[in-house]
Copies of this chain bind each other. A is one copy, B any other.
Amino acid sequence: MCRMNHRRSESGMRNPIQCNQCSMQSICVPAGLVSSEIDKLDKSSREPHVYSKRDMVYSPDQPLNSLFAVKSGSVKCYTIDSEGKQQITSFHLTGDIIGMESISNGAAVTYCEAMETSMLCEIKLNRLFAQNFTGVDKNLLRLLSHRIGQRNTHYLNVVNTTAEQRVASFIMGLSDHLYEHGFSRHEFKLPMTRTDIANYLGLAVETVSRVFSSLKQKDIIDTKQSILFIQAPAELKQMAS
């Protein structure tokens, strides 16, 4: 059966857990803090906020001096151009830290919207800076550096690649991320629509749909509603390269 439920996130949903029991401790900003320091984080940093599908976490130009940790669920970040056209810049699932690009000017630069019921922890930056926590800055720096690398990787996946490569690489990326956070590698829910995937990858919806159909016909993947099954991971990885 489907093993996609994450034990700690589930328990968190019913009874919010503290940072020192959080499954994201190793990757979240307070990593490197000792237990006593974690207790000093204020309430708003410790307790996750619940967002319903289509709720906005933040919008462009809104003053923002926080990061957000996605404890469960998923969000999409996007811009809207002068003609009103949406362009998705990133998707974020459980375990992601978001809002890093707004540190430089203290204001959000994209919209960030929940794609399903999600829990996010707000991490207030001034609080972290003020307390001069040992190890925080360096950890934060590594986090931002890693994000730059991720942005480059996504760019490489979209420039000079075929539609099939983009979709294969997108699925592999999700699979890897979910596996790293304790979920099943080969069976998971796609929280975003085909339209969103297409937009994110710079393709038309119809093209994404055709690639999915083609991958299904080759028995590389299968879908049932929004659940995706990876049946031939090796072949998919090969396509993604």
Chain A residues within CB distance 8 Å of chain B: 79, 81-82, 85, 87, 89, 100-104, 109-110, 129, 137-138, 140-149, 151-152, 154-156, 158-160, 199, 201-202, 241
Q: Is the interface of A mostly helix, strand, loop or mixed?
A: helix
Question: By the criterion CB–CB under 8 Å, are A148 and B158 in contact?
Answer: no
Question: By the criterion CB–CB under 8 Å, are A141 and B145 in contact?
Answer: no
Question: By the criterion CB–CB under 8 Å, are A141 and B142 in contact?
Answer: no
Question: By the criterion CB–CB under 8 Å, are B87 and A148 in contact?
Answer: no
Nearest chain B residue, comparing its CB with the CB of A85: B160
Question: By the criterion CB–CB under 8 Å, are A89 and B155 in contact?
Answer: yes
Question: CA A141 – CA B199 in complex, angstroms?
Answer: 30
Q: List 6 A-B contacts (CB under 8 A).
A: A79-B156, A87-B156, A103-B144, A104-B149, A140-B141, A141-B144
Cβ of A187 to closest chain B Cβ, rounded Å: 28
Question: CA A152 – CA B138 in complex, angstroms?
Answer: 23
